[in-house]
């Protein structure tokens, strides 16, 4: 992960953001909610302190996908943009794919691999966790 400033936005350009600094973490998430939210077999996410993220105009609309999780998306084009856990109000997670240059951030591990489709094959040596990384199996 590198760069002092990251920029990105949604598919239609209605939502744009700038982030000062680098993410403190990044992952592939294979959970069913991420699969449904991003419309793919996994989501690629990067984590920031909330104060580092600046929305440049419109902000994502949020959907409460569970008791504590809010998933942000563009109300115009539907692009998945963010993930926010209300139990951790100082953090915001953004989709790596929404970056203008997504190669600037690389995921460091896989989570919720127990929900990955059986046909999915990813050839990397990153750590894999059947659930959340903080849970013991």
Instruction: Supply the CATH number for residue 49's domain.
Output: 2.170.150.70
Q: For residue 55, give its domain range.
A: 5-115
Mean pLDDT for all residues in the chain: 95
pTM: 0.93
Mean pLDDT value of segment 90-117? 98
User: Residue 134: is its pLDDT beyond 70?
Assistant: yes
**101 backbone φψ class: left, alpha, beta (φ>0; ψ -120 to 50):** beta
Split into its structural domains, the chain has a count of 1
Is residue 76 in a domain? yes
Mean pLDDT value of segment 35-58? 97
Which pLDDT tens digit goes with each residue over 59-90?
Answer: 999 999 999 999 999 999 999 999 999 999 99
Give the chain's length.
137
Is residue 62 in a domain? yes
User: Residue 136: is its pLDDT beyond 80?
Assistant: no
User: Residue 1: is its pLDDT beyond 60?
Assistant: no
Is residue 130 in a domain? no
Is residue 31 in a domain? yes
């Amino acid at each position: 992960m590198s760069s002092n400033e990251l920029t990105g936005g949604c598919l239609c350009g209605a939502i744009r953001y700038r982030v000062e600094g680098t993410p403190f973490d990044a992952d592939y998430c294979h959970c069913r909610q991420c699969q449904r939210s991003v419309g793919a077999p996994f989501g690629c996410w990067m984590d920031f302190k909330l104060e580092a993220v600046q929305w440049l105009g419109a902000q994502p609309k949020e959907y409460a996908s569970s008791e504590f999780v809010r998933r942000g998306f563009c109300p115009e084009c539907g692009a998945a943009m963010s993930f926010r856990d209300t139990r951790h109000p100082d953090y915001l997670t953004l989709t790596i794919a929404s970056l203008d240059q997504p190669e600037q951030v690389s995921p460091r591990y896989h989570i919720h691999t127990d929900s990955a489709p059986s046909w999915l094959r990813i050839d990397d040596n990153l750590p894999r966790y059947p659930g959340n990384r903080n849970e013991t199996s």
